[in-house]
């Protein structure tokens, strides 16, 4: 399986692409867009002056500014890359500067809430195609990005009803060019799927690492010293950006709570099997779940190595 992006395009997909928020995802998009010549001009927008200065130092964009309204002017594609709780404020700030025909997209891992926050602010003739690249690391900031972050990962598009097919196809082509496998579904279905595949696992990771840290009979040095592979895996997930994940849980609360309810029921059955020595039930569960892991590896969404299959490319 190739691990590097292809050659630059002869002609950019978009004349001007504005990225709002230059953390891990935004800076990775900037690097991929630059490498692949997907935009004639990249505009980086971040409210943090330190981030803007660092973006300039790294040469991630032709233009960099803290002024969102000015930054999106004349952009053909605007990609919002901030925590989902800030989407409404961003949409309100940029709405009057968007040119007719512009496409607005995003990278948030919650979609129904994103549409509810953004769509009311968009003027007539501006099209919203929400996107969620299912990729990431526990690192954040403009230095954390790398151009192959999205390679062979899924990107889910959730266009609201009535979105022109042409706008959806342009966003599909954008993500496909960066190496993503693109799928389209409704926002509601996306939120339910991601609640169990991403959001609840993060919640469990935050909880179990917090529980270990709070144990009075186990010192913090022992937790660190004797961490086995499973706990180390949890700490990687639990090191993710706290602002982003706070907003994810608050903005996908219904789906997360539904999945947590089912998880609690399954844990109760598991506890009963352990309590009553029902080894056959435990063996059946562990056999079934191991098959899921093998399936994830077989479709190329992971490798067997104990590093979550995320090998960083120097691009």
Beta-bridge partners for 44: 19, 64
Identify whether the C-beta of residue 3 lies closer than 8 Å to the C-beta of residue 151.
Answer: yes
Q: What is the rounded average pLDDT of the residues 48-68?
A: 97
What was the pLDDT predicted at 309? 43
Same-domain check for residues 21 and 104? yes
Q: Can you give the pLDDT at residue 110? A: 94
Average confidence (pLDDT) over 16-32: 97
Residue 311 makes CB contacts below 8 A (sequence gap 6+) with 3
For residue 77, the model assigns a pLDDT of: 98
* Distance, CA of 79 to CA of 90 (rounded, Å): 11
- pLDDT at 312 > cutoff 50: no
Measured CA to CA, the distance from residue 77 to residue 39 in angstroms comes to 9
Two tokens, residue 147 = 């151009």
Predicted pLDDT of residue 180: 96
- CATH of residue 72's domain is 3.40.50.720
Same domain, 193 and 181: no
Same-domain check for residues 104 and 202 = no
H helical segments located in 133-197: 165-177, 187-194
- Average pLDDT value over all residues in the chain: 88
What whole-number distance in Å separates Cα of residue 252 and Cα of residue 258?
10
The most confident of the ranges 17-21, 132-136, 294-298 is 17-21
**Which residue matches tokens 């509810």?**
116
Residue 261 placed within a domain = yes
Query: What was the pLDDT predicted at 269?
Result: 92
C-alpha span between 188 and 112 (Å, rounded): 6
> Is 144 found in the same domain as 207?
no
Q: What tokens does 49 get?
A: 């002056």
Give residue 228's pLDDT: 64
Paired tokens of 160: 């609201």
Q: Number of structural domains, the chain?
A: 2
| 293 found inside a domain | yes
Q: Which helix (H) or strand (E) element contains residue 280?
A: helix 279-298
pLDDT tier for residue 313 given thresholds of 50, 70 and 90: very low
For residue 199, the enclosing domain spans 189-298
pLDDT higher at 27 or 258:
27
Provide the pLDDT confidence category of residue 112 given band limits of 50, 70 and 90.
very high
Q: What is the pLDDT of residues 271-306, one digit of tens each?
A: 999 999 999 999 998 888 887 777 666 666 665 665
% of the chain beyond a pLDDT of 90: 63
More confident residue, 1 or 115: 115
pTM reported for the whole predicted model: 0.80
CB atoms within 10 A of CB 304: 8
Predicted confidence at residue 268, as pLDDT, reads 93
Question: Is 308 among the domain residues?
Answer: no
Which has the higher per-residue pLDDT, 261 or 244? 261
Same domain? For 181 and 193 the reply is no
Which pLDDT score, from 0 to 100, does residue 128 have? 98
Q: Point out the domain boundary residue: 185, 211, 229.
A: 185
Shared-domain flag, residues 115 and 219: no
Query: Residues 126, 5: contact at Cβ < 8 Å?
Result: no
What pLDDT, in 10s, does the model give residues 183-233?
Answer: 999 999 999 998 888 888 888 888 888 877 777 566 667 766 666 667 777
Q: Using alpha carbons only, give the angle 176, 105, 120 rounded to the nearest 5 degrees.
A: 155
In a domain, 278, yes or no: yes
Task: Judge if 139 and 208 occupy the same domain.
Answer: no
- Residue 178 has a pLDDT of 97
Q: Is 23 within 8 Å of 142 (Cβ atoms)? A: yes
122 or 296, which is more confident: 122
Diameter of the chain by CA atoms? 67
Least confident range from 48-62, 170-184, 229-243: namely: 229-243
d(CA 111, CA 119): 12
Residues 77 and 206 in one domain: no
For residues 97 and 153, membership in a common domain is answered with yes
Residue 311: band (very low, low, confident or very high) from pLDDT cuts 50, 70, 90: very low
**What is the rounded CA–CA span in Å between residue 246 and residue 110?**
12
| Pair (243, 167) in one structural domain | no
Percent of the chain at pLDDT above 70?
88
**Cα 307 from Cα 285, distance rounded (Å):** 24
Residues 90 and 234 in one domain: no
Say if residue 160 is in the same domain as residue 210.
no
Q: What is the CATH number of the domain that holds 287?
A: 1.10.3660.10
């Amino acid at each position: 399986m190739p691990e590097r992006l292809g050659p630059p395009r002869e002609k950019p997909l978009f004349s001007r692409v504005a990225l709002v928020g230059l953390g891990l995802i935004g800076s990775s998009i900037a690097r991929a867009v630059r490498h692949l010549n997907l935009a004639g001009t990249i505009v980086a927008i971040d409210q943090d002056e330190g981030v803007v200065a660092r973006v300039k130092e790294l040469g991630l964009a032709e233009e960099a500014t803290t002024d969102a309204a000015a930054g999106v002017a004349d952009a053909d594609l605007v990609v919002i890359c901030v925590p989902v709780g800030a989407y409404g404020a961003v949409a309100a700030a940029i709405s009057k500067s968007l040119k007719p025909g512009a496409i607005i997209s995003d990278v948030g891992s919650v979609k129904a809430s994103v549409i509810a926050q953004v769509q009311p602010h968009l003027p007539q003739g501006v099209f919203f195609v929400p996107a969620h690249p299912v990729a990431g690391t526990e690192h954040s900031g403009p230095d954390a990005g790398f151009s192959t972050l999205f390679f062979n990962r899924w990107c889910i598009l959730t266009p609201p009803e009535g979105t022109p097919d042409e706008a959806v196809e342009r966003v599909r082509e954008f993500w496909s060019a960066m190496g993503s496998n693109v799928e389209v579904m409704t926002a509601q279905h996306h939120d339910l799927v991601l609640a169990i595949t991403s959001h609840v696992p993060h919640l469990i990771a935050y909880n179990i690492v917090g529980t270990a840290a709070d144990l009075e009979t186990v010192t913090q040095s022992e937790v660190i010293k004797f961490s086995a592979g499973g706990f180390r895996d949890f700490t990687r997930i639990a090191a993710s950006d706290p602002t982003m994940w706070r907003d994810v849980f608050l903005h996908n609360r219904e789906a997360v709570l539904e999945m947590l309810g089912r998880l609690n029921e399954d844990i109760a059955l598991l506890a009963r099997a352990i309590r009553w020595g029902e080894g056959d039930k435990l063996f059946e569960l562990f056999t079934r779940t191991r098959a899921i892991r093998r399936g994830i590896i077989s479709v190329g969404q992971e490798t067997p190595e104990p590093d979550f299959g995320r090998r960083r490319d120097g691009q």
